[in-house]
């Protein structure tokens, strides 16, 4: 092993996952049984807070208790095997249950995540990255299954206005069907922050935060794409957001609240330069590509369930 390899190994052993969100994959939202695959989203950073890039060996172990307890299932995502997990700009996405799945060392026999969720009321996830076990474990048993049974509130519509305040902390854009967070300046999703942190904050949003009573869960929300931003922008206004009817310029008291004449992040990377992503200026309405390390504002959206 070369000196460079040793340095890379040492760096990888300091990484920490700073958030996770769960959502059902490959199944109906009204599925009769729990899912075999769960979408796990995270941000991987060094101990110094630097977003990581590259392919990382990850092992996901499922237990029946948050401390000690019995290991019930193991899902390995390794370079030598099912394939390592790719991390870009700190962000990664992996389908739990899609790697090399094996029964855990504890009593009983489990063959899949669906089997685990059917038989256990509480399931805790332990993550190992490049040989380092991260703590604490995260409870996912009831959360993972409940997402298949409980849907976030749908969009709301009327015949008079483009933007409809649904009364649950969300606003529906009737022109696109996209659901926006009503509060465009919610401190719980952060103020000015870099692109990875903005994505992280949006993915962590859910019912009970930012005035939401919409039954949404972490993983439902995200940053708008560049195209979704451009569909809402009115460059003749400052801030560049239309009013409730969609015929004039926004002002406080319309469907949205707290709209700032700032630059807001989109989720869209610049395909010509992966170190940059698109943001929109609500003072001019322009879309501009900037380095992902620059700090801009966060305003989450979600699609209709």
| pLDDT above 80 for 26 | no
CATH of the domain at 132: 2.60.40
Whether the CB-CB separation of 82 and 59 falls below 8 Å is answered with: no
Is residue 27 packed enough to be buried (19+ CB in 10 Å), middle (13-18) or exposed (0-12)?
Answer: middle
Domain for residue 158, yes or no? no
Say what the pLDDT of residue 46 is. Answer: 82
Question: In the chain, what percentage of residues exceed pLDDT 90?
Answer: 61
**Confidence label for 150 from pLDDT (cuts 50, 70 and 90):** low
Does 151 reside within a domain?
no
Q: Is residue 8 located within the same domain as residue 142?
A: yes
Cα–Cα distance list, 238 to 72, 102, 103, 257, 260 (Å) = 56, 56, 58, 14, 9
Q: Binning pLDDT at 50, 70 and 90, where does residue 27 land?
A: very low
Model pLDDT for residues 209-255, shown as the tens digit of each residue: 999 998 888 889 999 999 999 999 999 999 999 999 999 999 999 99
| Helix, strand, or coil (residue 200) | helix
What's the token pair of residue 145?
């299954």
Is residue 74 located within the same domain as residue 140? yes
Q: Does the reported pTM lie above 0.75?
A: no
| Domain match, 141 and 167 both | no
> Is the domain of 103 the same as that of 134?
yes
Range of weakest confidence among 3-12, 71-80, 114-123, 194-203: 3-12
The Cα-based distances of 48 to 7, 183, 201 in angstroms read 15, 32, 19
Q: 92 is in which domain, residue-wise? A: 3-146
For the ranges 3-17, 99-113, 212-226, 253-267, the maximum mean pLDDT occurs at: 253-267
Reported confidence tier of residue 304, pLDDT bands at 50, 70, 90: confident
Element (H, E) at 195: helix 195-204
Residue 9 and residue 108 share a domain = yes
Neighbours of 65 (CB within 10 A): 12
| pLDDT on residue 145 | 43
Tokens coding 81:
């095997």
Neighbours of 161 (CB within 10 A): 17
pLDDT level of residue 42 (50, 70, 90 thresholds) = confident
Q: Is residue 154 part of a domain?
A: no
- How long, in residues, is the chain? 305
Does 11 score more than 90 pLDDT? Answer: no
pLDDT at 12: 45
Domain check: are 168 and 296 in the same one? yes
> Quick one: pLDDT at residue 60?
95
Longest Cα pair distance anywhere in the chain, in angstroms? 68
47: helix, coil or strand?
Answer: coil
What's the Rg (C-alpha) of the chain?
21
| Block residue for tokens 């870099």 | 194
Instruction: Find the CATH number of the domain harbouring 288.
Output: 3.10.100
Rounded-to-integer distance, Cα 193 and Cα 125, Å: 28
Mean pLDDT of 29-42: 65
- Give the count of domains, the chain: 2
DSSP class of residue 88?
A: B
- Res 19 pLDDT > 70: no
């Amino acid at each position: 092993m070369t000196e460079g390899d040793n340095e890379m190994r040492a760096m990888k052993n300091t990484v920490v996952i700073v958030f996770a969100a769960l959502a059902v994959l490959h199944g109906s939202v009204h599925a009769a049984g729990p899912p075999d695959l769960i979408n796990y989203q995270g941000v991987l950073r060094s101990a110094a807070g630097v977003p990581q890039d590259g392919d990382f060996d990850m092992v996901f172990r499922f237990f029946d208790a948050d401390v000690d307890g019995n290991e019930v299932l193991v899902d390995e995502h390794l370079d030598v095997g099912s394939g390592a997990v790719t991390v870009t700009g700190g962000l990664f996405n992996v389908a739990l249950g899609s790697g090399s799945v094996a029964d855990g060392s504890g009593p009983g026999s489990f063959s899949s995540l669906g089997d685990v969720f059917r038989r256990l009321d509480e399931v805790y996830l332990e993550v190992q990255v490049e040989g380092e076990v991260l703590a604490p474990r995260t409870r996912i048993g009831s959360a993972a299954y409940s997402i298949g049974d409980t849907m976030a509130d749908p969009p709301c519509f009327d015949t008079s206005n483009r933007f409809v305040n649904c009364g649950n902390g969300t606003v529906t854009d009737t022109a696109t069907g996209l659901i926006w967070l009503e509060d465009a300046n919610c401190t719980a999703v952060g103020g000015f922050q870099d692109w990875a942190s903005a994505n992280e904050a949006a993915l962590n949003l859910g019912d009970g935060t930012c005035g939401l009573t919409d039954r949404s869960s972490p993983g439902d929300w995200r940053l708008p794409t560049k195209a979704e931003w451009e569909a809402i922008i009115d460059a003749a206004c400052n801030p560049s957001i239309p009013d409730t009817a969609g015929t004039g310029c926004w002002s406080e008291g319309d469907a949205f609240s707290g709209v700032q004449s700032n630059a807001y992040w989109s989720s869209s990377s610049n395909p010509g330069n992966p170190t940059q992503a698109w943001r929109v200026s609500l003072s001019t309405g322009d879309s501009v590509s900037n380095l992902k390390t620059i700090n801009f504002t966060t305003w989450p959206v979600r699609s209709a369930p």
